[in-house]
Amino acid sequence: MTDEPEESPVTAEFVADDADIDASLRPKSLDDFIGQPRVREQLQLVLTGAKMRGGTPDHILLSGPPGLGKTSMAMIIAGELGTALRLTSGPALERAGDLAAMLSNLVEGDVLFIDEIHRIARPAEEMLYLAMEDFRVDVVVGKGPGATSIPLEVAPFTLVGATTRSGALTGPLRDRFGFTAHMDFYDPPELERILTRSAGILGVRITTDAAVEIAGRSRGTPRIANRLLRRVRDYADVRADGIVTLEVAQAALAVYDVDELGLDRLDRAVLGALVRSFGGGPVGVSTLAVAVGEEPATVEEVCEPFLVRAGMVARTPRGRVATAAAWKQLGLVPPSDLTVGGIPVRSNEPARTLFDD
Ligand SMILES: Nc1ncnc2c1ncn2[C@@H]1O[C@H](COP(=O)(O)OP(=O)(O)OP(=O)(O)O)[C@@H](O)[C@H]1O
Ligand SMILES: [Mg+2]
């Protein structure tokens, strides 16, 4: 993916270019964290409660689409507890031994962060059950009839798991988390505050109306907001006098092909395929992914949550269906007998706006 000629600036997925900036823009404490008021309040209680009792908090699962602040929140949790954060990811824990090594190095109170925890391999997952519940693991040494299992103590720790697909987690794993935080898309005023904060950190001068404009095109996602800010800053530096005004923001976003709703090429391709090739659906995600030449996981985890949220795509038991808003977004007239999940949709119905629920 790295040598792709042009990376859309509104992909919510992490791209290499984000690395340094991400680190400097990450909120450092719960108070610094903008948005997600419910999650913040809940976490505050979980963390303060544990601190008052002098123990480790329950294991915490952070779920939600890419770029909404799960990794940032994991770092904040360790920061608020005043403990160290050990970082790994589901795909890195291929064998149980990988996890055993990680667990045996933990110090009491540590936060073990497992990103993309839904991708953890089965043997490691089973080892994790015991570690989460009883703070011990059984390490199997040797093979065949001579194999023995050696019990190993693990220091009490808090597991923080992050996932973009909590539905893909097995029941037993999900049940072992004492608290699940669902991160939701941010509304435009929150994104505007995030942009203003980021501009301050990066030393970018930006007008309020420009921040509002960028916020509205950030697909409810802070990572995208921050990335668009950088692209707009480039434009302001190269083609204007360095100040990000509304005109500069609009011109820059036009260059990067980000429309008023923040839809990028892939989103438009998905909508286009759904409407033009499949007559509006229903169609399965994998078929849709093949039609746009993408991985099904990308379509399902990156494009779809936002298109659903924007009221353009509906998930039905028979597959994905385009709503009237999707037809209109593509400049087409929805069919008069359009139904979504068996429910007729009148084509003169006003298109839902992005954040009206
Ligand atoms: N609430 C917030 N306030 C300010 N900035 C934020 C907030 N949430 C996220 N960000 C910014 O967005 C960037 C991406 O956040 P983060 O890496 O935590 O997302 P993520 O949910 O872990 O994404 P992924 O699923 O791809 O791992 C961060 O670098 C940070 O700058
Ligand atoms: Mg992350």
Q: What is the 3-state secondary structure (H, E, C) of 216-285?
A: HCCCCCHHHHHHHHHHHHHHHHHHCCCCECHHHHHHHHHHCCCCCCCCCHHHHHHHHHHHHHCCCCCECH
Confidence (pLDDT) at 357:
37
Could you tell me the pLDDT band of residue 334, with boundaries at 50, 70 and 90?
Answer: confident
Could you tell me the pLDDT band of residue 6, with boundaries at 50, 70 and 90?
Answer: low
β-bridge pairing 136-141 and 179-182: unpaired
- Give 138 Cα–ligand 1 centroid separation in angstroms: 35
Question: Which-ligand-closest: CA of 13?
Answer: 1
215 and 315 part of one domain? no
Residue with tokens 């090739």: 277
Question: Which-ligand-closest: CA of 34?
Answer: 1
- Domain end, chosen from 220, 255, 290, is at 255
> If DSSP codes are grouped into helix, strand and coil, which group holds residue 74?
helix
Residues spanned by the domain of 224: 188-255
Residue with tokens 């921040």: 211
Helices (H), 135-221: 171-175, 188-202, 208-216
pTM of the model: 0.85
171 and 225 part of one domain? no
- Give 285 Cα–ligand 2 centroid separation in angstroms: 24
Confidence (pLDDT) at 16:
62
120 and 245 part of one domain? no
d(CA 307, CA 313): 6
Confidence (pLDDT) at 59:
97
Instruction: For 78-87, write each residue's pLDDT tens digit.
Output: 999 999 999 9
160 and 269 part of one domain? no
DSSP letter at 136 equals: E
Reply yes or no on whether 70 is catalytic. yes
Ligand 1 pocket by Cβ (under 6 Å): 13-14, 22, 25-27, 33-35, 66-72, 162, 164, 194, 222-223, 226
For position 308, which CATH number holds?
Answer: 1.10.10.10
DSSP strands (E only) in the chain: 60-63, 85-89, 111-115, 136-141, 148-153, 158-163, 179-182, 313-316, 319-322, 339-340, 343-344
Confidence (pLDDT) at 333:
86
Question: Which-ligand-closest: CA of 31?
Answer: 1
Q: Is the pLDDT of residue 4 over 50?
A: no
Name the active-site residue from 88, 110, 115, 219: 115
Confidence (pLDDT) at 331:
86
48 and 159 part of one domain? yes
- Give 126 Cα–ligand 2 centroid separation in angstroms: 23
For position 52, which CATH number holds?
Answer: 3.40.50.300
- Domain end, chosen from 182, 216, 242, is at 182
Q: Within a domain: residue 297?
A: yes
Reply yes or no on whether 86 is catalytic. no
Confidence (pLDDT) at 261:
85
Q: Is the pLDDT of residue 236 over 90?
A: yes
249 and 280 part of one domain? no
165 and 197 part of one domain? no
- Domain end, chosen from 221, 255, 289, is at 255
Q: Within a domain: residue 8?
A: no
178 and 199 part of one domain? no
83 and 215 part of one domain? no
| Amino acid, single-letter form, for residue 221 | T
107 and 206 part of one domain? no
Q: Give the residue-averaged pLDDT of 172-198.
A: 95
Name the active-site residue from 223, 227, 231, 309: 223
- Give 67 Cα–ligand 1 centroid separation in angstroms: 5
Confidence (pLDDT) at 34:
97
Could you tell me the pLDDT band of residue 350, with boundaries at 50, 70 and 90?
Answer: very low
Reply yes or no on whether 223 is catalytic. yes
Instruction: For 89-146, write each residue's pLDDT tens digit.
Output: 999 998 888 999 999 999 999 999 999 999 999 999 999 999 999 999 988 888 888 8
Smallest CA separation from ligand 1 atom 24, residue: 66
225 and 332 part of one domain? no
166 and 79 part of one domain? yes
d(CA 252, CA 254): 5
Q: Look at the chain and report how many structural domains it folds into.
A: 3
In Å, how far from its chain's centre is CA 116?
Answer: 10
d(CA 315, CA 211): 32
